[in-house]
Amino acid sequence: QGQQLSNSSSVIQFLLLAFVDTWELQLLHFWLFLCIYLSALLGNGLIIITIACDHRLHTPLYFFLLNLSIIDLGSISTTVPKTMANSLWHTREISYRGCALQLFLFTFLVVAEFSLLTIMAYDRYVAICQPFHYGTLLGSRACVHMAAAAWGCGFLNALLHTVTTFSIPLCQGNAVDQFFCEIPQILKLSCSHSYLREVGLLVFGVCIVFGCFVFIVVSYVQIFRAMLRIPSQQGRHKAFSTCLPHLTVVSLYVSTGTFAYLKPPSISSPSLDLVVAVLYSVVPPTVNPLIY
């Protein structure tokens, strides 16, 4: 049980949710997550090295894919190593600063990734709908600026949320109902009404994410309309094959994230929340390299 605390300054550590109780199952959890983590490192690492070393892949599409792999590496490295260490050492503890850093990095990378996926939808739109303007609209400088905007958006968003979340008094103990620190779980520990400012920021963030999602959908409506006008079946197939990986990654990202945060409270339970958290925080960074 978490300690009953009067304010956030009293919290020196948080207790993360353990996957299992027995030592044998904790060891199994450690080895399973180690395999997943090493797969993610290998897959994303190979993509980064291949794109960096092969000059034929120095195109906007692969430049954005390189950034996506870097984000995926950072994202899975933010959550998985800590839960692996806790299972191995039979503990649930994470320091106050460690929790704040984990929340900041995870929020930063999640927002940066979705921003980048939105930019990649624009890349596919220009490549298929306006191919003669591709070199102009997506020159090297424009690509760098767009990638920097995605990273910057994630950083500012994470900074704002982290400062706001950890400035809220915590009165409901220090036990986090998740295997890593995330905003909704920290808000559950807050005093009544003191979390409304952060909830307002979350709603604003959701509106931005929804706007990005609408942009992606509109882009693909235009892309599919352009594909239907391609005379040859081979041309249509080639155009679709360049979009399929991105569509799959976006679908995986949106479906897991939406279910995690918008599922009905009636079906919510600690075990289900744990499984869903793995789906949206661990699975995409591991599977993305395989998809691409």
* Mean pLDDT split into 10-residue runs, the chain, 292 residues: 46 82 84 95 96 94 96 95 90 92 95 95 94 91 96 93 87 86 86 71 82 93 91 87 90 83 72 82 91 89
Instruction: Give strand pairing partners of 13.
Output: 95
* Separation in Å, CA 232 to CA 12, 73, 213, 225: 65, 39, 30, 14
Note the pLDDT of residue 10: 65
Among 112, 121, 149, CA closest to 60: 121
Q: Is 269 helix (H, G, I), strand (E, B) or coil?
A: coil
CA pair distance 218, 230, nearest whole angstrom: 19
User: Which helix (H) or strand (E) element contains residue 188?
Assistant: none
What per-residue confidence (pLDDT) applies to 2?
45
Distance, in Å, from the CA atom of 244 to the CA atom of 120, rounded to the nearest integer, reads 12
> How confident is the model at residue 195, as a pLDDT?
67
CB within 8 Å of 199: residues ≥ 6 apart: 187
Q: What pLDDT sits at residue 231?
A: 86
Rounded to whole angstroms, how far apart are CA atoms 275 and 287?
16
Neighbours of 179 (CB within 10 A): 26
Task: For the chain, give every domain's residue range.
Answer: 13-290
Closest CA to 162 of 113, 224, 97: 97
Q: Are 47 and 65 in contact (CB under 8 A)?
A: yes
Q: Measured between alpha carbons, how far is 29 from 257 in angstroms, rounded to an integer?
A: 23
How far apart, in whole angstroms, are the C-alpha atoms of residue 167 and residue 184? 14
Q: For the domain covering 13-290, report its CATH number.
A: 1.20.1070.10
pLDDT of residue 238: 87
Residues 6+ apart with CB under 8 A from 69: 44, 45, 47, 48, 51, 288, 289
- What's the pTM value of the predicted model, to 2 decimals? 0.88
Distance (Å, whole) CA 77 – CA 71 = 10
pLDDT at 6: 41
Q: What is the pLDDT of residue 98?
A: 93
Q: Cα separation of 237 and 67, whole Å?
A: 26
Classify residue 178 by its DSSP letter.
S
Tokens of 114: 């979705």
What is the model's pLDDT at position 142? 95
